[in-house]
Chains A and B, each alone.
Chain A
Amino acid sequence: MSAAPAVEVEGVAKRFRMYRERNQSLKAALMRGGRASFDEYWALKDVSFEIPQGSTFALIGENGSGKSTLLKCIARILEPERGRIRTHGSVAALLELGSGFHPELSGRENVFLNGSILGMTKRELERKFDEIVDFAGIEPFIDQPVKNYSSGMYMRLGFSVAINVDPDILLVDEVLAVGDAAFQEKCMEKFVDFRRAGKTVVIVSHAMGSMRTLCDQAAWLDRGSLLDIGRADAIVDRYVDKGHEKGVAPGTAGGANAEARVGSGEARLTTVEMLDASGTPATSFRTGDPVTVRVGYECTERVEQPAFALAMDTVDGMRFWAHHTRDGGLELPFIEGTGHVDLVIPALALQPYTIDLSARILDHTLTHTYDFRRHCYRFVVETGDHRESGGVVALGGRWTADLPASASETAV
Chain B
Amino acid sequence: MSVIGDLKDSRGLLVNLTLREVRGKYKRTLLGQGWSLLNPIAVLLIYTLVFGFVLRVPVPIGENSGVQIFALYLACGLIPWTFFSNSVTSGMGALLGNANLLRKVYFWRPTLVVASVFAWDVTFAIELLVLMAALLIVGSMPLPWLPLLLLAVVLLTVFALGIALMLSVANVYFRDTQHFVSIGMQLWFYATPIVYPYSLIQDQADRMAADGNGFPLETIYRLNPMERFVSVFRSMLYDNTWPQWGDVLFCVVVAAASLGIGIWVFTRSQHRLVEEL
Contacts and interface: CB of A to CB of B under 8 A. Distances in A.
B268 interface: no
Interface string B3-39: 0000000001101110110011001100000000000
Contacts of B174: 24-26, 29
Interface string B24-57: 1001100000000000000000000000000000
Contacts of A24: 173-175, 276
Contacts of B104: 77, 93, 95-96, 99-100
Given A102-B24, A116-B16, A117-B13, A75 B106 contact: yes
Interface in A110-134: 112-113, 116-122
A380 to B, nearest CB: 37
Given A77-B274, A95-B104, A117-B107, A105 B20 contact: yes
Given A99-B105, A109-B23, A117-B101, A26 B177 contact: yes
Q: Which of A29, A78, A91, A93 has the most CB of B within 10 A?
A: A78
A77 B23 contact: no
Contacts, number: 84
B103 interface: yes
Nearest to A24: B175
A76 interface: yes
Given A99-B104, A116-B16, A121-B12, A104 B27 contact: yes
A247 to B, nearest CB: 31
B100 interface: yes
Contacts of A79: 271-272
A16 interface: yes
A319 interface: no
A93 B105 contact: yes
Given A24-B174, A29-B174, A121-B12, A102 B107 contact: no
A225 B37 CA distance: 58
A102 B27 CA distance: 11
Nearest to B12: A116
A27 interface: yes
B211 interface: no
A113 B17 CA distance: 7
B203 interface: no
Range class of the B interface residue count: 20 to 34
Given A93-B106, A117-B107, A25 B175 contact: yes
Most buried by B among A26, A76, A100, A117: A117
A17 interface: yes
Contacts of B15: 116, 122
Nearest to B276: A24
A79 B146 CA distance: 46
B67 to A, nearest CB: 41
B266 to A, nearest CB: 14
Contacts of B101: 99-100, 117
**Size range of the interface on A?**
20 to 34
Interface in A3-58: 16-17, 24-27, 29
A27 B103 contact: no
A117 B32 CA distance: 26
B176 A26 contact: yes
A104 B12 contact: no
B100 A105 contact: no
A222 B130 CA distance: 64
A93 B271 CA distance: 19
A100 B101 CA distance: 6
B275 A78 contact: yes
A17 B271 CA distance: 13
A76 B270 CA distance: 12
Interface in A332-369: none
Interface in B244-277: 271-272, 274-276
Interface in A80-112: 91, 93, 95-96, 99-100, 102, 104-105, 109, 112
A122 B23 contact: no
A119 B271 CA distance: 21
Nearest to B106: A76
Contacts of A17: 272, 275
Which of A16, A100, A112 has the most C-beta atoms of chain B within 10 angstroms of its own C-beta? A100
Nearest to B172: A24
Nearest to A173: B104
A77 B277 CA distance: 12
Interface in B96-114: 100-107
A221 to B, nearest CB: 19
A111 to B, nearest CB: 10
Nearest to B9: A119
A347 to B, nearest CB: 49
Interface of A: 16-17, 24-27, 29, 72, 75-79, 91, 93, 95-96, 99-100, 102, 104-105, 109, 112-113, 116-122
Given A99-B100, A105-B24, A112-B16, 16 more contacts: A16-B275, A17-B272, A24-B173, A26-B174, A26-B176, A77-B274, A93-B106, A95-B104, A96-B100, A105-B20, A105-B23, A113-B19, A116-B16, A117-B16, A117-B101, A121-B12
Interface of B: 12-13, 15-17, 19-20, 23-24, 27-28, 100-107, 173-177, 180, 271-272, 274-276
28 contacts: A24-B173, A24-B276, A25-B174, A25-B176, A26-B176, A27-B176, A29-B174, A72-B274, A75-B105, A77-B103, A77-B104, A77-B106, A93-B106, A95-B103, A96-B104, A99-B101, A99-B103, A104-B23, A104-B24, A105-B24, A109-B19, A109-B20, A112-B16, A116-B16, A117-B105, A117-B107, A119-B13, A122-B15
Chain A to chain B: the 8 pairs with minimum beta-carbon distance, closest first? A104-B27, A76-B106, A26-B176, A99-B104, A116-B16, A116-B13, A95-B104, A96-B104
